[in-house]
Chain A
Amino acid sequence: MDPNNLIAVEGLARSFPGPKGAEPVTVFEDLWFAAARGEFVCLIGHSGCGKSTILNILAGIDQPSEGAVIVDGKEATGPSLDRAVVFQSHALMPWMTTIQNIAFAVRSRWPEWPRAKIREHCQTYIDMVHLTGAEDKKPAHLSGGMRQRVGIARALAIEPRIMLLDEPFSALDALTRGSLQDEVLDICAKTNQTTFMITHDIDEALLLADRILLMTNGPRARIAEIVVNTLPKGRTRTDMHRHDNYYPLRNHLIEFLVRRSEALREMVLDVDPRKPPVVFPRADCSAQTPAVVHGATA
């Protein structure tokens, strides 16, 4: 095992009991992937292929049927303050204000801290996600984007080693989504945060991720391919599409989502699930055949 990997899954599978009498449905199986320290990994796949289930298992709130989650060399069997989750539906407590929601998390992490210190710590993260002034508002009085910001601040405030995000921006309008992506990009760059994010937005993945895992359709979904983001670090939402590698990358991902995610379901069975093909889509390769390195772990 690569010691650089902060979090890894080995042979992960999850099946649910079928509807009355029917045999169990295996949503995904034989998943092997890892995220290195400071790396931003995105997972892309069609709805229903089991992405949220994977994230819940990584977070420790669901148990795999087979396989294990390894965090820093040790098997993780339950939830931990090391792994913070930003939920798809923000999951803020509606009876708590912004700062109370964040303080609830901070107090869980450092129960011995005095009130003033907790308040100060919360304020740092409220300012970081640009919510200054909304400290004492309840979620019902915040816009969708602001709620998601509180969710992000709550996750960041416990200073986790790994952030897990489940389609955090999918319910937001394009403008809000853009500005939140910029903030996440900025925060991750500053804090060198290890992050695992689920998305179905290709541009979002290209902006944020270092590596993108592509999942086939379910049931029995697998990792079909790992795409290394060949765009330079320091890219921004406004300039990344000018880079030569942007369209090869984008086309590769769209092609995957539109056609190959279904077709690959059969083909991928021949591939060693521990070493899915790694591709580096680039402008200097011909568009049809991006560089493929079989069996390499980028």
Chain B
Amino acid sequence: MNGSKDLQALTLSVVLLALFLGGWQLAVGGSGTAPQMDPEYAALMGATAKGGSALPTPFDIAKEMWRHISDPFYDKGPNDKGIGIQLAYSLARVLIGYFIAAAVAIPLGFLIGMSPLFYKALDPFIQILKPISPLAWMPLALYTIKDSGVSSVFVIFICSIWPMLLNTAFGVASVRRDWLNVAKTLEVGRLRTAFRVILPAAAPTIMTGMRISIAIAWLVIVAAEMLVGGTGVGYFVWNEWNNLSITNVICAILFIGLVGMVLDQALYQFSKLVTYSE
């Protein structure tokens, strides 16, 4: 029953993909020649614009993807590194910034959630800091930290802290009174209540915050690396754009999407461990 539904969905996915790729191939790889192009655009594209369309066909992409996958870790100087190396740089920055943010946000969120006083006191700061685009911190970070890699990590830290902080505070503040009362009547100490009652009760809400944060961090790292350059998948995209290699830009887009999906799925699997049904 369910299996046949899955099969139908899979078939439909494959059909949609085939239609999309077919349409792409027709639009790009057909007999289209330079005169079809906007003259200014053709001029902009320069040498690559000779002959057919400048946009690669799906087949070009597949070939290029294969080239990247078969040799992801080569290193031929600062402007030519394998996609695997670039992704690893980005991932490392994201994970470092993200885990530092979690280490700050979860305990702080606990405090805010448990204490109305702290909540009131910290609320104005959170309200002002939260809506700031993380990239707006970049100049300040570069000026104070003086290292582009660490600055990117800082930007990731700043953007991933808010969802985790707010979700933790909300989850902790909305733990059912009944459960806290059970702990009270059993004379359970504060620390044991925090770890055995409040933490598991709030865990699903905290995990939701962590999933939102990792998604935002992965979105932001690309922009941050475009800005500061050097290494990382964001820099790779920008560099390939400067090289006018649209094929590589599209490959990078696909890799970014894949890694983002893996990150989200990993946290999703983890969140399944802590969810409970009432």
Give A contacts to B, CB under 8 Å: 56, 59-61, 79-81, 83-85, 87, 89, 91, 93-95, 104-105, 108-109, 138-140, 158
Contacts and interface: CB of A to CB of B under 8 A. Distances in A.
Interface string B181-203: 11011111000000011001101
Contacts of B201: 93, 95
A176 B203 CA distance: 33
Nearest to A104: B196
A61 B184 contact: yes
A138 B182 CA distance: 17
Contact of A108 (B179, B181, B186): B186
Given A104-B196, A140-B278, A91 B184 contact: no
Contact of A94 (B187, B196, B276): B276
A61 B278 contact: no
B178 interface: yes
Nearest to A140: B277
Interface in B114-162: none
Interface of B: 176, 178-179, 181-182, 184-188, 196-197, 200-201, 203, 274, 276-278
B186 A87 contact: no
Given A59-B181, A61-B185, A140-B276, 18 more contacts: A56-B181, A60-B185, A61-B181, A61-B184, A79-B185, A80-B185, A80-B187, A81-B185, A85-B185, A91-B176, A91-B179, A93-B182, A94-B276, A95-B200, A95-B203, A104-B196, A109-B186, A138-B277
5 contacts: A61-B185, A80-B185, A81-B186, A81-B187, A84-B185
A216 to B, nearest CB: 27
A109 to B, nearest CB: 7
Given A79-B187, A81-B187, A87 B182 contact: yes
Given A93-B200, A104-B196, A83 B277 contact: no
B181 A87 contact: yes
A22 to B, nearest CB: 22
A85 B181 contact: yes
Contacts of A56: 181
A161 to B, nearest CB: 13
A94 B188 CA distance: 18
A95 B196 CA distance: 10
Contacts of A108: 186-188
A109 B185 CA distance: 11
Nearest to B204: A95
A105 B181 CA distance: 12
Contact of B186 (A94, A138, A139, A158): A158
Contact of B278 (A84, A87, A139): A139
Contacts of A104: 186, 196
